[in-house]
Amino acid sequence: MTVASFSLQALGALTLSYFVLSFGSVIFRTFILPGKPLTKFGAKQGAWAVVTGASDGIGREFALQLAKSGFNVFLAARNPEKLASVASEIRGVQTQTFTIDFAHADDSAYQHLANTLSKLDIGVLVNNVGKSHEMPVDFVDTPADEIHDILAININATLRVTSLVSPGMVSRHRGLILNIGSFGGAAPAPMLATYGASKAFLAAFSDALAAELAPKGITVEHANTYFVVSSMSKIRRPSLLIPLSSSYVRSVLAGIAPGAQVPYWSHALLGFAMRIAPTRFLLAYIHALHKDIRKRALKKKEREAKKA
């Protein structure tokens, strides 16, 4: 056997081993490894769960399911009527609602939020509030207000709310911070450049925060998410890869673990496929997908304009 032949076989064996180990890790974390019980974070012990973007979709489900798990629930979003509606569905625990527009919240709004939260024993923070583009669009054509709102909501709101809640968790040596991520930040996202970059920021922030807070008894999880049926995704029907919000949230809360996680099983398998796909192929596929989505969205707007 020549040195070149031996080297190629060794490289092939290493590549195969890496593939098997990586896939095995996904299977283990997704289907076998048990998550931390919510009682570790104060469920049924009087603790509160703070959920941002709690008036609809994934946020609403987190509020409902955390309440069923025994947390008092603090709901924050911009629409007071929707917040009141969600709060009215919750039974057996305390609720508070707080109206805040994270896209335009100033220092006084955050100070008001800080004063309100300071009175609560917070065991869980779900940084769920988020905003994407109205439809895929090239960066040079993206409206300035859309860029502002995405950055204000996806980055600034997460940082500021976390900075309000985390000191209390540290003092109690107990807490869970759930940052709801997106596959849009896991790979370059042409035509969703600002949104994708904001979610890539969230992934890096979560990893760093997890390392800092783990010795202080705080679990930080970055829950990476593909599409879920919600008003934000504009998808109305579930499928194998696109669960209902209720199913998605149930999988997150059942598998709490520190670091980066892909809680929903089909998302985890898709994420593994994305990691092993050649970057150039993945980039071309995502770009083509977003071009198609934009084309269909524009046609829908034309139809609606004609009807009007």
Say which DSSP state 195 is in.
H
* Distance (Å, whole) CA 194 – CA 136: 10
Contact between residue 154 and residue 195 where contact means Cβ atoms under 8 Å apart: yes
Which of 110, 195, 248, 264 does the annotation list as catalytic? 195
For residue 195, indicate whether it is catalytic: yes
**Could you give the CA distance from residue 87 to residue 95 in angstroms, rounded to a whole number?**
6
* Burial (CB count within 10 angstroms: exposed 0-12, middle 13-18, buried 19+), residue 154: buried
Q: Is there a binding annotation on residue 182?
A: yes
Q: How far is CA 186 from CA 111, 154, 196, 201, 223, in A?
A: 33, 15, 8, 10, 12
Helix 265-276 to helix 3-27 angle (10° resolution) is: 160
- CA angle in degrees (0–180, nearest 5) for 149-151-155: 130
Contacts of 137 (CB under 8 A, 6+ apart): 191, 294
Q: Is 274 left (phi over 0), alpha (psi -120 to 50) or beta?
A: alpha
Amino acid making up residue 215: P
Name the residues annotated as catalytic.
195
Residues within the annotated binding site for substrate? 182
